[in-house]
Amino acid sequence: MDIRTVGIVGAGQMGNGIAHVFAVAGYDVLLNDISEEGLQKAIAIIDRNLERQVSRGKISAEDKAAAMARIKTTMTLTDLGQTDLIIEAATERETVKQAIFEDLLPHLKPTTILTSNTSSISITRLASRTDRPEKFMGFHFMNPVPVMQLVELIRGIATDQETYQTMLAVVAKLGKTAASAEDFPAFIVNRILIPMINEAVYTLYEGVGTVKSIDEALKLGANHPMGPLELADFIGLDTCLAIMNVLYDGLADTKYRPCPLLTKYVEAGWLGRKSQRGFYDYRGEAPVPTR
């Protein structure tokens, strides 16, 4: 199937990044959000990030202008119905995602492929609530989308081969690399990454190390570009906790029990960079450890 038009639900951090890479790759993009302010902010971010790529010689000024012209916005979800591919990039709550797909269903073309950028929720379960489980996939981009090379492709139990091959071709056209994962809680990247972050929080909780020493140890001792607590702040502590709960509930193994300290930070509203406080306090000139 030839994909030419792409509808993206959610203009937040992931949604605007996905819109960016699809527009650069030559797709016509229709970006949806519940807030006009959110859409305007997303367009400004895309413009700024494209300008950064121009300044670094990654794309030309003409490429940037063409990419920006390919992105249209709408606050009406059903406008996305006539696109060839829909990517849901809304908040990581299953009820929200289900409601989005249910609202879209009556307005879809028979050939439209549905995908979700979920980082952990069952693709099979999301697909089962639609009229086309065979044309439904997990399409998980990494953050920040314009920079990160990987896309996880997750097949639900009903996903057909044509849909999978179509999505492989889309990833290749984006200039990214696909990693195919089976539909088990948190897939590949987050099945490994988030428990590592959770263990780092336990290491802090038990007093084995400070925020600074834990992050330095992993950066210098394991050659990680960011320490696990710094990375948790970047991802969002609420997202980390949500994924740990999906693992804990889905696999029924105590090794996936979320650290109580992670829960406490989320309860406090200290969610990381987006709320200006997490394992670091970002309100000053330089981040300061909060513990």
- Pair of tokens at residue 258: 């979320």
- Domain ranges within the chain, ordered by starting residue: 5-182, 190-289
35 catalytic, yes or no?
A: no
Residue 218 has which token pair? 């992993």
CA angle 85, 90, 95 (to 5 degrees): 105
Among candidate residues 32, 88, 92, 152, the one labeled active-site is 152
Under a CB-based contact definition with an 8 Å cutoff, are residues 117 and 160 in contact? no
Evaluated on CA atoms 57, 61, 62, 65, the torsion sign reads positive
213 is catalytic: no
Closest CA to 140 of 191, 105, 79: 191
What confidence tens digit (pLDDT) does each residue in 97-123 have? Answer: 999 999 999 999 999 999 999 988 999
Positions of the chain with pLDDT under 50:
none
pLDDT of amino acid 160:
97
Distance, in Å, from the CA atom of 61 to the CA atom of 4, rounded to the nearest integer, reads 23
Place of tokens 């029990």: 257
Instruction: Give me the architecture of the 190-289 domain, per CATH.
Output: Orthogonal Bundle (1.10)
Q: CA 160 to CA 72: how far, in whole Å?
A: 30
Element (H, E) at 141: strand 136-141
Q: Would the pTM of this model clear 0.85, i.e. be above it?
A: yes
**146: preceding bond cis by omega (within 30 degrees):** no
- Catalytic hit among 119, 120, 122, 198: 119
Amino acid occupying residue 154: I
Q: Using the 8-state DSSP alphabet, how is residue 78 labeled?
A: G
DSSP sequence for 81-103: GGSSEEEE---S-HHHHHHHHHH
Task: Give the span between the Cα atoms of 97 and 276, in whole angstroms.
Answer: 27
Q: What is the token pair recorded at 110?
A: 């028979």
Residue-wise pLDDT for 170-221, tens only, equals 999 999 999 999 999 999 999 999 999 999 999 999 999 999 999 999 999 9
179 is written with which tokens?
Answer: 């990693």
Residue bearing tokens 């992670």: 262
Annotated catalytic residue within 16, 190, 198, 230? 190
Is the domain defined by 5-182 classed in CATH 3.40.50.720?
A: yes
For residue 94, indicate whether it is catalytic: no
- Which residues face 236 on adjacent strands? none
Q: Establish whether 119 is a catalytic residue.
A: yes
* Fold agreement between 5-182 and 190-289: no
Judge contact between 80 and 104, C-beta under 8 A. yes
Catalytic site residue from 122, 140, 198, 230: 140
**What would the two tokens of residue 216 be?**
């330095």
Give the three-state DSSP class for 28.
strand
